[in-house]
Amino acid sequence: MTYQNMVMPEAEIALQAAAAAATATQKPPVAPGGFLNISRKQFLEMGHSGSGGGGHSWVDSMRASSPTHINSTPSLSDDQSSWMVRHPSALDMFEEIITASKGKQIVMFLDYDGTLSPIVDDPDRAFMSDAMRATVRKLARYFPSAIVSGRCRDKVYSFVRLAELYYAGSHGMDIKGPSKGSKYKKGNQGVLFQPASEFLPMINEVYKALLNKTKYTPGATVENNKFCVSVHFRRVDEKKWSELAQQVKSVMKEYPQLRLTQGRKVLEIRPTIKWDKGKALEFLLESLGYANCADVFPVYIGDDRTDEDAFKVLRERGQGFGILVSKVPKETNASYSLQEPSEVMVFLRRLVQWKKMTLRRQFRLKRRLEELKMSFAI
């Protein structure tokens, strides 16, 4: 994969996005809390199933992906031990991870919600703790680091507030490099890539339409994430979910160029282009100069279904690994697991501490060699 100009002219981006447009494919069922990809046809048909055509099949799907309904699938809980064998704790396996990365450049990719910050009822209050921010700042000092989020890039930056990171917002459809302070920034040219820019007017239309449609549904929140629209129903009474699904359906039917995914109490409307967090990971590796590089070790940490695209890329490349943040077993391409953001912070701190110690040893060894050279010269 080659991206020749890091700062992409808008016309060129529009042409690339148009060429990449394709119908989204259906994903297999996922465990509670994962993401479901729903084709537009499936979504519109769901509203006509069940008694009274009230969208009961769609509401069942909303329940299935809701963390509050985890206990409705006891088979997953029964299988926790075997799942942990296949996806052991990244903290327990830290030494194994470090051994695998020996002699390679570690590059860090981090989701935001549910990874660096806890999942909260109000998406506008998903604040990162000061301790986590300090940890990520130290991480970026020792490793090239990127935030890859479904959020609008500007929104996630307002939460993180670290200029030395790469940011990929809107599920990787809006990428920008560090504005300052990163020793890993290549050249003087900034990285900017927006493969779905032609969809901006349409996304804004959908955002306004959904605001109008859902304004009388208590607790519903519509978020404009620039290249996608999120409808949060975390604070909506479950009795109102069917009504909300109908509202979203009535808007979606007017936009066949868009697709819908469903996650942890959120419905997301996105362009049907072949671009995701996995493609964003590959683009960022190339931007950093690590395309087709054997001595790079990417680490991607995330908690939701959209992160699976990045986990899959790492498995297919045979480089680095993915870490799934989850308290319950889920079908995943990640190699390791962590239970919650607090464990993510511990893992990142251990990584920083290991790197600091390695650099100190290297410095002492270098100084000792220089002293030996000087003694022989005398």
Instruction: Please give the torsion angle defined by the CA atoms of residues 182, 185, 190 and 193, in that order, rounded to the nearest 10 degrees.
Output: -110
Q: Exposure of 195 by Cβ count < 10 A (0-12 exposed, 13-18 middle, 19+ buried)?
A: buried
Cα 205 to Cα 201: distance, rounded to the nearest angstrom:
6
Q: Which of 280, 288, 346 is nearest to 144 (CA)?
A: 288
Write down how long the chain is.
Answer: 378
Asked whether 301 and 344 are in contact (CB, 8 A), the reply is yes
111 noted as active-site residue: yes
In the sheet that holds 229-232, the strands lie side by side as 36-38, 258-263, 266-271, 229-232, 221-224
Q: Which of 302, 327, 281, 348 is nearest to 115 (CA)?
A: 302
The active-site residue, picked from 78, 92, 111, 237, is: 111
Asked whether 314 and 320 are in contact (CB, 8 A), the reply is yes
* Sign of the Cα pseudo-torsion (81, 82, 83, 89, in order): positive
DSSP state of 290: -
Q: What residues contact 351, with CB distance under 8 A and at least 6 apart?
A: 106, 108, 139, 142, 143
The residues assigned a catalytic role are: 111
